Structure 1
Amino acid sequence: MNINYSLSRVKPIALFVGSLLLTGCAVGPDYQAPSVPMAEAYLYSTTDNAIKQDYWWHEFHDETLNQLVADAQQQNIPLKLAAQRIKMANSYRTVVESFKVPSISVGAGYVNYQLSKNDSLLGPALNPLGSSVSGLPDSVSGMTLLDNQHDGGFVAASIAWELDLFGRIDRQSNAAEIRVEQAQIYQSGLTTLITADLVHNYLQLRGAQQRYQLLEANVADQQKTLDLVRKVVRAGYGSDLDIAQAESMLAATESLLPQLEIAQQVHKQRLSMLLGEPLTQIDIRVANAQPLPELTGVIPVGLPSDLLQRRPDIRMAEREMAAVNEELAASVANRYPKFFLTGAPGLSAGSFDDLFSSDSFGWVGSVGVSWNVFDGGRGKAAVDINQARFDSALLSYQHAVDSAFTEVDSLLFTYGKSQENQQRLNRALASAEKALGKAESLYQAGLIDHVSVLDAQRQKRMMEDRQIVARLQTAQVTIGLHKALGGDWSLAREETSATETNDSE
C-alpha cells in the first residue's frame, strides 16, 4: 500500500516538516574500516623495510625498456577503456548528487484557436449572416458580437525537492563517490598489470635473442668439431661412431634454433598488442639485439602493513565494503517516509500583451509525504540482500588480504632461492671458463687435441646459456614480487606532479 498525501494547508505541515528537519538524522550502519592483525615483517624477507620504489624497472638502466613502458601507458587500449570507466563513474555520481538539490523546470506556451461556424450547436450563433436560433440563451446568441479568435499565453515553472531527512540520497551519493574511487583503483591496478606484462615480455625477448646468438656460436663450434672428427677418421685414428656422435650433437643443438625464433616472435607479438602498434614497428624498436639487462640493487619490500594501501586488489575489496555499506544504509532509509516540497509559480493571461503584467502572476505550493506502509516484505528483503552483500564483501576482503601476504612470502622465498641458483651457476661458469683456459694451454703445449678444446668451449657456452635462463627466471620472479608488493606505477602521476611543481614556480 502506497500512501501519498498532497496537503493544501501549508502552515501546519511546514511546522511539522521543520521539526523533522531539526530532529531527523541518517539511518543505517556507519562504515568502519576493518582492522587486520599482521606480522611485523615478512617470513622470508632478506631486505630492509624501506618503501618500495614505484618505477622499479628504471633499475635495469635500459632506455628502450623505459620508453616502451611510457608508450604503453599512453597507447594501451584497455587502459584507455579504464579511463572511460572513470568518466562514466563520475557522471553517475553527478546524477545521484543532483537529487540533493531542487529540480526546476520552466515551460511556456501560446494558444490560438477559432470556433467553428459550422458547428451544429454554435455555428448559427457565430455566423453573422445566419438567422438566430430559437431557444439559445442570450449569452450564446450574443457571441455574434464577440471576436471569434482567442489568443492566450502562459509561462510556468515547477520546483520539486525531496527532503532527505533519513539520509537515503546522501548514502546513495556516498556509494557513487566510492564507485569513482574503485574505477580509479581499477585503472591503477590495470596499469600495474600492463606494465608488468610489458617488462616481462621485453626481458624474455632480450633473453631469447641472447640465447639465439649463443646457440649460433655453439653450432659453429660443433660444426668445427664434426669437421675435425671427420679428418681424424679419414686419417685412421677414429671410427664412424665418433662421426655419428658429433653429427647427433650438432643436429640436437641446431634443433633449438627454431624454438628460440618462435619465442622471439611470440614476445614481439605480445609487445605489439600491449603497445597497440604493428609488428613492423616493434621490429624497428628491438632491431638491435642487446644483452639481457640485469636489475641492480636490492628490492625494498617495506612492511606488511604497507600492502593494505599499496595492493590494488585489497584496496578494491575494502572500497567494495564501504560502497555496499552505504547502499545498505540507503535501503534502510528507503523504508522510512519520504517528504517532498513542490511549487509552481507562473504567468498566465488571455492575451499575450497582458502576459507579463503583475496581475498575470500566480503560484501554487504543496508539501507531500509518501510512505510504503505495507509492501509484502519487499523493503526488508532489500535490506537483507544488502546485508548479505556486505558480509560477502567482508569475506572477500579477508581472502584478498590473506592471499596477498601468502603471495608475497612465497615470492620472497622463490626470489631468495633464485638468487642462490644464479650464484651457483656463476661459480659453475667461472669453472668452465677456467677449464677452457687450461684446455687451450694444454693444446698449445701439444698435450691434447683440438677436439678437447672445442668440447671445453661447448661446456662453457652451455653454462652461459643456463646462466641466461637462470637470470630470466630471476627476472620473472622479480617482476612478480614487485607486482605483489603493489604501488602506483602510473607515469602520468609523475608528469602531473612535475607540472604542478612548474606551475607553482
Structure 2
Amino acid sequence: MSLGRLSIAAAVLLLAGCVAGPDYRKPEVEVPVSWQLEQPWRQAAPSDAEPKGPWWLRFGDPQLDALQQKALANSPTLDLASARLAQARATLAGSEAGRYPQVGLGTRASRFKISANRPLTNYATNNFSTVQNDFALTLIASYELDLAGRVQRSVEGATASAAQSAADLENTRLLLTADLATAYFSLRATDLELDVVARSIEVQRRALQFVTDRHEGGAVSGLDVAQQQALLDNTLTQVDLLKRLRSQFEHAIATLTGTPAPNFSLAPDIRPLSPPPIPLGVPSDALERRPDVAAAERAMAAANAQIGVATAAFYPSVSLLPTGGVDSRSLSTLFDAQSVLWSIGVSATQTLFDGGRIRANVDFTRAGYEATVASYRRVVLTAMQEAEDGITGLAALERAAAQSQTAVASARRVLEMSASRYEGGATTFLDVITAQQALLNIERQSAQLSGQRMLGSVFLVKALGGDWCGVEPRGGAGNEDARTGCPAPLRQVAGTR
C-alpha cells in the first residue's frame, strides 16, 4: 500500500512539472541596418521607450487638431475596436479564474412521503410509509489540477490575445487619424487648385475682354475671340469638377468624425501647405512602433499557446471535488454536530481512444501558428517597404516642388512676353492662349505637389507607426515645442529642409 501511494505521488509530481506545448519564442526577422536616405533627409535617434504623441500637432493646423479630437471622440470604428479590447480583457479574466477553485453553496428544503410498498432491502424488516422533512445546506468545491499546463497555456493565450486587441486598437486609432489627415489635406490641396483656377479665370476673362475690344475695333479677327472664349469655357468646366472632388473629401471627413455628411461643411482655406519634419530613427524602430506589427507578433504568441492547450488533451484531467454541509429532518437540529456531512474525492479522466481527434487538433493549432508566423513576416516586410517608400517619395516630391516653383515663375514670364508681343503685333493670339494654358497647368501642378507632400508626410507617419514624443533634443533640454510637448522638430528628427 505504501509503495502504491508513493508511485501515485511520484506520477503526480512528474506531471505537475510538465507544461504541454512549446514555449513561445519570437521568430527572427531580417531588418536592414539603416534606411536608404536621400537628400534632404538626415538620421535621428529617438528613444523606443518614449510614448507616441498626437503626431498631427506637428502640422500646426488648429482646424486639423479639432477634427482629430472630434474623430477620436465620435468614431464608431474606434468604439468597435475598444469594445473588442474589452471583450479580450474579459476573456483573459475568465482564463485566469481557472487557476483558482470554484466554490458553490447549495441548499435544499423538502417534505416528502416514502412508499410502504417500495422494494425491500431486508426480508426480515418490513417497510413503513413515512412523511418527513429534509433540510440541507451544502458547500461544494472543485479544483482542476493543472498537471499538463492546460490552464497556464490558456492564460498565456488570453494574455497575448488581449495584447493583440490593444495593439489593434492603437492601429485603428493610427489609421483613423491618418485617413482623416489624408482627406483633410486632399481637401486643402483642392482648395489651392480652385484658387489657381479662379485666378486663371480672372486673367482669361480680362484677356477675352481685351481681344473682344480689339475685334470690335477691327484690329483682329473673330478667330482670336473664339479661341479665348473656348479656353475660358474649358477652364470654367474644371471648376465644377474640382468642386465635386472637394465635396467628396468633405463628406469623407464628416464620416470619419462621426458627423452626418449633410450636416458638415468646411470653409475653403488657401493657406500655403508645408509638411513638417518627420522622425525617422532606424528600421528596427518601425517594428517596435507600428501597432500592426505588434498585433501580428502577439497573434503568434496566442497561436503558440493554443498548441499547448490542444496538447494538454493527451494527458489525464484530474479534479479535486471536496464537499461539506449539514443535513437534518428538522430545522432546529440542522446545525447540530450530528447533522454534519462531508466528502472528499478525486475525479480523473484519460482519453484512451478518440480516432485521432486530439492529434488532429494539435496539428490544426500548429498549422495555425505557422500561419501567424508567415503573417508576421509579411507585415514586417510591408512595414519596411512602406517606410522606405515614404522616405524616398518625400525626398523626390520636395525636389519636384522646388522645381515647380521655378517653372511657375518661368511660365509667368512667358505669358507676359507673349501678351506684350501680341499687343505689339509681333505674334498671333494663339501664343497668348498657349502661354495662359501652360501657366494654368503648371500652377495646378504646383498646388497638387503641395498636397502630395502633405499626404506623403502623413503616409510616412503611418508607415513609421506614429510620432515620437518626449525625446530630449540632442543639444539638451529646454527646447520643446509648446504645442505638442515634443522637442523642437529640427533638433531631433530626420526632416525636410
* Pairwise TM-score range, normalised by the shorter structure: 0.7 to 0.9
Equivalence for 1:48? 43
CA drift at 1:183: 0.6
Deviation sequence 1:311-343 (CA, Å, 0-9, x none): 222222211111111111221222111211101
CA drift at 1:54: 4.3
CA drift at 1:93: 1.3
Equivalence for 1:97? 96
Report whether the alignment pairs 1:476 with 2:455.
Answer: yes
Equivalence for 2:20? 27
Report whether the alignment pairs 1:88 with 2:87.
Answer: yes
RMSD: 3.3
For the residues of structure 2 that align with 1:11 and 1:354, how far apart are their CA atoms?
44
The 8 Å contact of residues 203 and 292 in structure 1, kept in 2 or not, is answered as no
2:392 aligned partner, one-letter code: F
2:136 aligned partner, one-letter code: F
Report whether the alignment pairs 1:211 with 2:204.
Answer: no
CA drift at 1:358: 1.8
1:27 aligned partner, one-letter code: A
The 8 Å contact of residues 186 and 312 in structure 1, kept in 2 or not, is answered as yes
For the residues of structure 2 that align with 1:454 and 1:61, how far apart are their CA atoms?
39
For the residues of structure 1 that align with 2:125 and 2:367, how far apart are their CA atoms?
75
Equivalence for 1:65? 64
SS at match of 1:73: helix
Q: Among 162, 169, 181, which residue is 1:187 paired with?
A: 169
The 8 Å contact of residues 62 and 293 in structure 1, kept in 2 or not, is answered as no
Equivalence for 2:309? 330
Seen in structure 2, the aligned counterparts of structure 1 residues 230 and 138 have a Cα distance that, compared at 3 Å, is: closer
Structure 2: where are the runs of 5+ without partners? 119-123, 470-484, 486-497
The 8 Å contact of residues 46 and 468 in structure 2, kept in 1 or not, is answered as no
For the residues of structure 2 that align with 1:97 and 1:13, how far apart are their CA atoms?
31
Q: Among 404, 407, 411, which residue is 1:428 paired with?
A: 407
Equivalence for 2:275? 295
SS at match of 1:315: helix
Report whether the alignment pairs 1:406 with 2:385.
Answer: yes
Q: Aligned runs of 1:1-400 on 2, under 5 Å?
A: 16-17=8-9, 20-21=12-13, 24-44=17-37, 46-51=41-46, 54-113=53-112, 149-283=131-265, 286-296=266-276, 298-400=277-379
Seen in structure 2, the aligned counterparts of structure 1 residues 413 and 294 have a Cα distance that, compared at 3 Å, is: same
1:256 aligned partner, one-letter code: Q
The 8 Å contact of residues 336 and 371 in structure 1, kept in 2 or not, is answered as yes
1:407 aligned partner, one-letter code: E
For the residues of structure 1 that align with 2:54 and 2:432, how far apart are their CA atoms?
46
TM-score by length of 1: 0.82
Seen in structure 2, the aligned counterparts of structure 1 residues 459 and 165 have a Cα distance that, compared at 3 Å, is: same
Deviates more, 1:23-32 or 1:468-477: 23-32
For the residues of structure 2 that align with 1:161 and 1:413, how far apart are their CA atoms?
60
1:151 aligned partner, one-letter code: N
Seen in structure 2, the aligned counterparts of structure 1 residues 427 and 244 have a Cα distance that, compared at 3 Å, is: same
For the residues of structure 2 that align with 1:40 and 1:54, how far apart are their CA atoms?
25
SS at match of 1:334: helix
SS at match of 1:106: strand
Deviates more, 1:331-340 or 1:14-23: 14-23
Seen in structure 2, the aligned counterparts of structure 1 residues 30 and 476 have a Cα distance that, compared at 3 Å, is: same
- Give percent identity, aligned residues only: 27
The 8 Å contact of residues 195 and 270 in structure 2, kept in 1 or not, is answered as no
Deviation sequence 1:275-295 (CA, Å, 0-9, x none): 111335431xx2253425322
Deviates more, 1:233-242 or 1:78-87: 233-242
Deviation sequence 1:354-386 (CA, Å, 0-9, x none): 111221111011012211122211111111111
Equivalence for 2:478? none
Larger Rg: 1
Seen in structure 2, the aligned counterparts of structure 1 residues 184 and 13 have a Cα distance that, compared at 3 Å, is: farther
CA drift at 1:19: 6.1
Structure 1: where are the runs of 5+ without partners? 1-8, 123-136, 491-497, 499-505
SS at match of 1:384: helix
CA drift at 1:470: 0.9
Count of residues in correspondence between the two structures: 457
Seen in structure 2, the aligned counterparts of structure 1 residues 388 and 459 have a Cα distance that, compared at 3 Å, is: closer
Equivalence for 1:493? none
CA drift at 1:77: 0.2
For the residues of structure 2 that align with 1:375 and 1:454, how far apart are their CA atoms?
86
For the residues of structure 2 that align with 1:461 and 1:177, how far apart are their CA atoms?
59
CA drift at 1:55: 3.0
SS at match of 2:321: strand
The 8 Å contact of residues 85 and 162 in structure 2, kept in 1 or not, is answered as yes
The 8 Å contact of residues 47 and 300 in structure 1, kept in 2 or not, is answered as no
For the residues of structure 1 that align with 2:2 and 2:328, how far apart are their CA atoms?
26
Seen in structure 2, the aligned counterparts of structure 1 residues 197 and 140 have a Cα distance that, compared at 3 Å, is: closer
The 8 Å contact of residues 187 and 249 in structure 2, kept in 1 or not, is answered as yes
Deviates more, 1:379-388 or 1:64-73: 379-388
Deviation sequence 1:8-61 (CA, Å, 0-9, x none): x99976983576247632132111111223221112453213339743322221
CA drift at 1:486: 1.0
1:20 aligned partner, one-letter code: V
For the residues of structure 2 that align with 1:421 and 1:65, how far apart are their CA atoms?
26
For the residues of structure 2 that align with 1:357 and 1:152, how far apart are their CA atoms?
15
Equivalence for 1:6? none
The 8 Å contact of residues 180 and 256 in structure 2, kept in 1 or not, is answered as yes
2:78 aligned partner, one-letter code: L
CA drift at 1:115: 7.5
Deviation sequence 1:141-191 (CA, Å, 0-9, x none): 8x7xxxx75222110121111100121110011101111011111111111
For the residues of structure 2 that align with 1:60 and 1:91, how far apart are their CA atoms?
38
For the residues of structure 1 that align with 2:401 and 2:5, how far apart are their CA atoms?
81
The 8 Å contact of residues 188 and 451 in structure 2, kept in 1 or not, is answered as no
The 8 Å contact of residues 13 and 367 in structure 1, kept in 2 or not, is answered as no
The 8 Å contact of residues 55 and 467 in structure 2, kept in 1 or not, is answered as no
The 8 Å contact of residues 102 and 162 in structure 1, kept in 2 or not, is answered as yes
